[in-house]
């Protein structure tokens, strides 16, 4: 749902830029006001930061193209060789200085000069006006267009937490009921992909923060992604277990406790203490007597280590962001 809302807002923003820039160009007397609206649309990037960065490079590149082409046409005249020489030189310079994002609008405007055989100050200045109005409108609309950053990021955080709960709960069931292993694996792969997609969306949304270096929501999602890697390790360990063991039920119950504690508050510290108590209790048990029992216990202890790492990641996050809340 959030994805389609993002598409809707992007569509509205592009329409506003196109209409507003074309209208301004028409009012100031620019004849090719449709082109102004078109370049305006091309000047809107996915995020505010990208819009600013891309348009700075685009504007400089277009100015370079207009100045360079005017000089070449003045020195060598309006002929195909001069145009080809300009295109090769301009493209080379644009890529060398990493401003090639302005190639298309620059070449379109230089085409105007070439077709009109006109490099008079007034005509060239009108080309400057076209790019200035286009980029200026795109920047203005991007800056003032309302953004619901916190609302979206909170939605991502809650969604990922819900999925992580689902992930861990399925793990707790898988640990004691391994008959439908392929189904559990398929489920966790789907969750992995969905969580990765959500974090990618959040990274795009985080770029809309221009003057605020507080990226705690994104840091929270990265923390969950780190935890996900440990959960995946545990799924792999369970998949390799071939024999039942009494520890499985105990660990499964503990994981179910973790499911209830998934959230933004620091409950990992208390859970870590419980985990250490469980591990110590297991250490005091008699050593395995058979190779199979040894292999099973080794995999179960590996799961306990991954659980400890999972909790440590959450504890580290709260040490860095002690006041984190939604």
Asked whether the whole model's pTM tops 0.95, one would answer: no
Sorted by sequence, the CB contacts under 8 Å of residue 313 that are 6+ apart come out as: 223, 226, 227, 230
pLDDT at 146 over 80: no
- Token pair recorded at residue 50: 């990208």
pLDDT at 87: 95
Lowest mean pLDDT among 144-148, 220-224, 277-281: 144-148
The candidate with the shortest Cα–Cα distance to 171, out of 36, 23, 303, is 303
Cβ(239)–Cβ(282) below 8 Å = no
Whether the CB-CB separation of 232 and 309 falls below 8 Å is answered with: no
| Integer CA distances (angstroms), 175 to 161, 239, 273, in order | 21, 9, 22
pLDDT above 90 (res 11): no
Average pLDDT, the chain: 87
Q: Quick one: average pLDDT of 30-41? A: 92
Give residue 47's pLDDT band: very low, low, confident or very high (50, 70, 90): low
Burial of 153 (0-12, 13-18, 19+ CB in 10 A): buried
Per-residue pLDDT of 292-301, as tens digits, reads 888 888 899 9
pLDDT digits (tens, 9 = 90+) for 220-270: 999 999 999 999 899 989 988 888 888 899 999 999 999 999 998 999 999
Count the Cβ atoms, other than its own, within 10 Å of residue 46.
Answer: 14
pLDDT value at residue 321: 86
Q: Dihedral angle at the C-alpha atoms of 140, 142, 147, 152, nearest 10 degrees?
A: -170
CA dist list (Å): 286 to 274, 276, 316: 21, 18, 34
Q: What is the pLDDT of residue 150?
A: 66
Whether residue 73 has pLDDT greater than 50: yes
* pLDDT at residue 187 tops 90: no
What is the model's pLDDT at position 207? 66
Residue 212: predicted pLDDT:
47
> What six digits make up the tokens of 277?
């108590």
Q: How far is CA 241 from CA 89, 142, 237, in A?
A: 65, 54, 7
pLDDT reading at 144 higher than 90: no
Is it the case that residue 213 has pLDDT exceeding 80? no
Q: What distance in Å separates the CA atoms of residue 164 and residue 191, rounded to the nearest whole number? A: 8
pLDDT in the model for residue 102: 92
State mean pLDDT over 131-142: 92
Residue 149 binned pLDDT confidence (cut-offs 50, 70, 90): low
Q: What is the mean pLDDT of residues 40-52?
A: 80
Domain architecture of the chain: domains with CATH: 2-144 (no CATH), 149-320 (1.20.120.940)
pLDDT digits (tens, 9 = 90+) for 89-104: 999 999 999 999 999 9
**Out of 47-51, 136-140, 166-170, least confident range:** 47-51
What's residue 70's pLDDT?
95
Q: What percent of the chain has pLDDT over 70?
A: 92
């Amino acid at each position: 749902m959030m994805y389609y809302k993002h598409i809707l807002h992007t569509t509205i923003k592009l329409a506003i830029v196109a209409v507003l820039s074309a209208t301004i160009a028409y009012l100031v007397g620019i004849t090719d006001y449709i082109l102004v609206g078109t370049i305006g649309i091309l000047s809107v990037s996915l995020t505010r930061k990208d819009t600013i960065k891309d348009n700075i490079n685009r504007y400089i590149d277009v100015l370079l193209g207009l100045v360079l082409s005017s000089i070449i046409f003045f020195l060598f005249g309006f002929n195909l060789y001069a145009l080809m020489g300009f295109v090769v030189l301009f493209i080379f310079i644009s890529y060398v200085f990493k401003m090639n994002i302005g190639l298309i609008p620059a070449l379109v405007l230089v085409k105007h000069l070439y077709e009109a055989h006109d490099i008079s100050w007034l005509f060239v200045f009108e080309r400057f006006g076209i790019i200035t109005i286009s980029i200026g409108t795109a920047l203005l609309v991007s800056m003032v267009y309302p953004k619901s950053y916190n609302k979206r990021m909170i939605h991502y955080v809650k969604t990922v937490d819900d999925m992580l709960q689902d992930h861990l709960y399925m793990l707790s069931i898988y640990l004691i009921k391994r008959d439908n292993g392929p189904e559990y694996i398929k489920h966790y792969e789907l969750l992995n992909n969905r969580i990765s997609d959500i974090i990618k969306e959040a990274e795009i949304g985080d770029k809309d923060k221009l003057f605020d270096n507080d990226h705690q929501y994104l840091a929270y999602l990265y923390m969950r992604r780190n935890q996900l890697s440990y959960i995946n390790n545990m799924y792999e360990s369970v998949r390799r277990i071939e024999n039942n063991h009494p520890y499985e039920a105990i660990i499964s119950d503990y994981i179910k406790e973790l499911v209830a504690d998934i959230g933004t508050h620091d409950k990992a510290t208390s859970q870590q203490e419980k985990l250490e108590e469980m591990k110590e209790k297991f250490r005091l048990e008699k050593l395995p007597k058979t190779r199979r029992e040894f292999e099973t216990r080794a995999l179960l202890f590996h799961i306990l280590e991954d659980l400890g790492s999972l909790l440590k990641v959450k504890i580290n996050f709260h040490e860095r962001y002690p006041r984190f809340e939604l």
